[in-house]
């Protein structure tokens, strides 16, 4: 397994279930040590947690005992910013993800899409150099999901962080990414395909799916991925 992301690149990782896509993210995040080999972040070997990375989890990751505002302000406060200033910035970020007026709601009072927006603001407020995303929109319905994908592209466009985006949805991967990396079925999975996505930006994830160029790329990658999916199911 050898994977290099160029700074500012949006890399999507696709593969059949059980191929270790999420494991890769956890290793890059420093949440678990690699079985062998090493992770280099900005040229330096990674020890402990990855301080340059923000992580958007697949499952609900907000603290249910904190309001939306408190959740977003948490990162800066943990890193030593005075609480007043942190809350001010959190207010700004909540507005930025379209949640003005929801500052004092607790997570259980928010819909699935809103929770994802709060989680996104919670991560982005720390302006990480690297953004790790583990099927963040997997649990959302199709409409909300496309909305969130466009939102993500809009925010990413502002400062172009390096993104590792794990998904099992090939269409989502192509619509969002500069590069799609295909993993083979596990165990002992490896990279079996690496595709540049030369679609123009800014993109609209709903519209781009209908273009000829998109379908062309989709056909090409799907040809490769289908076999792996079959193998994952057979095995």
Partner 1 sequence: MRARVRLWQAGLLFLLVAGWEVSVRAGWVDAFFFSKPSDIAARVWEWFSTGEIYGHLWITLWETMLAFLIGTVLGVVLGLWLALVPTASAVLDPLIKAMNSIPRMILAPIFTLWFGLGVASKVALGVTLVFFVAFFNTYQGIKEVNPVVLANARMLGASGRQLLRHVYLPSAASWIFSSLRTSIGFAVIGAVVGEYLGSARGLGYLISQAEGVFDTTGVFAGMVVLAVFVVLLDWVVSRVEARLLVWRPTPGQEGGTL
> Which C-beta is closer to partner 1: that of 64 or that of 200?
64
- x/- mask, partner 1, residues 168-197, rule CB under 8 A, reads ------------------------------
Can you read off the two tokens belonging to residue 145? 């999901």
31 touches partner 1 (CB under 8 A): yes
- Are the C-beta atoms of 149 and 135 separated by less than 8 Å? no
Q: Is the dihedral of CA 222, 224, 227, 233 positive or negative?
A: negative
Size of the site for partner 1 (CB under 8 A): 32
Query: ∠ at Cα 151 (13, 25), nearest 5°?
Result: 25
213 touches partner 1 (CB under 8 A): no
Q: What is the smallest separation between the CB atom of 207 and partner 1, expressed in angstroms?
A: 25
> Which C-beta is closer to partner 1: that of 68 or that of 175?
68
Q: What is the smallest separation between the CB atom of 35 and partner 1, expressed in angstroms?
A: 19
CA distance 122 to 80: 15
Q: How far is CA 153 from the centre of its chain?
A: 11
Query: Residue length, the chain?
Result: 235
Of residues 83-122, which lie at the interface with partner 1 (CB under 8 A)? 105-111, 114, 122
Of residues 61-90, which lie at the interface with partner 1 (CB under 8 A)? 61-67, 74-75, 78-79
CA distance 93 to 113: 16
The CA–CA distances, whole Å, from 184 to 1, 38, 180, 232 equal: 11, 20, 13, 9
> Which C-beta is closer to partner 1: that of 17 or that of 109?
109
CA distance 35 to 164: 20
Q: Could you list the residues that contact partner 1 (CB under 8 A)?
A: 29, 31, 49, 51, 53-55, 57, 59-67, 74-75, 78-79, 105-111, 114, 122-123, 126
């Amino acid at each position: 397994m050898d994977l290099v992301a160029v700074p500012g690149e949006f890399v999507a990782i696709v593969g059949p279930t059980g191929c270790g896509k999420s494991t890769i993210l956890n290793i890059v995040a420093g949440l678990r040590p690699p079985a062998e080999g090493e992770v280099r972040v900005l040229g330096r070997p990674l020890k402990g947690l990855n301080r340059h990375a923000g992580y958007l989890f697949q499952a609900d990751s907000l603290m249910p005992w904190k309001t939306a505002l408190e959740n977003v302000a948490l990162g800066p406060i943990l890193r030593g910013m005075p609480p007043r200033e942190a809350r001010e910035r959190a207010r700004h970020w909540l507005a930025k993800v379209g949640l003005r007026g929801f500052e004092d709601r607790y997570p259980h009072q928010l819909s699935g899409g809103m929770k994802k927006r709060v989680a996104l603001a919670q991560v982005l407020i720390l302006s990480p150099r690297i953004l790790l995303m583990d099927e963040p929109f997997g649990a959302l319905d199709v409409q909300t999901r496309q909305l969130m994908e466009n939102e993500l592209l809009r925010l990413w466009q502002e400062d172009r962080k390096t993104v590792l985006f794990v998904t099992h949805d090939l269409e989502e991967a192509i619509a969002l990414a500069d590069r799609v990396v295909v993993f083979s079925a596990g165990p002992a999975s490896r990279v079996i395909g690496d595709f540049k996505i030369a679609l123009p930006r800014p993109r609209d994830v709903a519209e781009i799916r209908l273009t000829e160029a998109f379908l062309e790329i989709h056909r090409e990658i799907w040809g490769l991925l289908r076999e792996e999916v079959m193998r994952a199911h057979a095995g």
